[in-house]
Amino acid sequence: AIERTFSIIKPDATKRNLTGAVNAVIEAAGLQIVAQKRIRMSLPEARKFYAVHKERPFFGELVDFMVSAPVVVQVLEGENAVAKYREIMGATNPAQAAEGTIRKLYAVSVGENSVHGSDSVENAKIEIAQFFSENEILPA
């Protein structure tokens, strides 16, 4: 089915001028970038976005990292978009990521791992709604 997923190009990637490189991998995989903006995430926004991880030992580090520099938030659309994007992102830890994946190509570490992608269609809807209104999402 045609799905939407939510993506973030994280600070480690925006700082290294890799926005276009990441987008090239996304588009080569057949996913369409139907919404995109570069933002500086606020601390409350980052805490809300990652609330599911608030008990994890790395929560503080994760939130600090996400507000440390601009990010690019995106909506990706296409056949099976949630699973397809997770496949091309690669494993959370770049040391375990498959060849050719975004994290294998560009990620620095498990924390500075260049991209986020939703883990389900249901969570994608929630994550998209945190950053985009429906009139900002423009399929071809």
Q: Is 10 annotated to bind ligand?
A: yes
The interface with ligand CMP within residues 79-108 (CB under 6 A) comprises 92
The single residue listed with the structure tokens 């969570």 is 123
Contact pattern for ligand CMP over residues 40 through 69, marking x by CB under 6 A:
-------------x----x--xx-------
d(CA 109, CA 8): 16
| 53 annotated active-site | no
Nearest to 8 by CA among 32, 27, 35: 35
Q: Is 58 annotated to bind ligand?
A: yes
The interface with ligand CMP within residues 104-123 (CB under 6 A) comprises 110-111, 113, 116
Q: Which residues are annotated as a binding site for ATP?
A: 10, 58, 86, 92, 103, 113
- Enumerate the active-site residues: 116
* Positions that interact with ligand CMP (CB under 6 A): 53, 58, 61-62, 92, 110-111, 113, 116
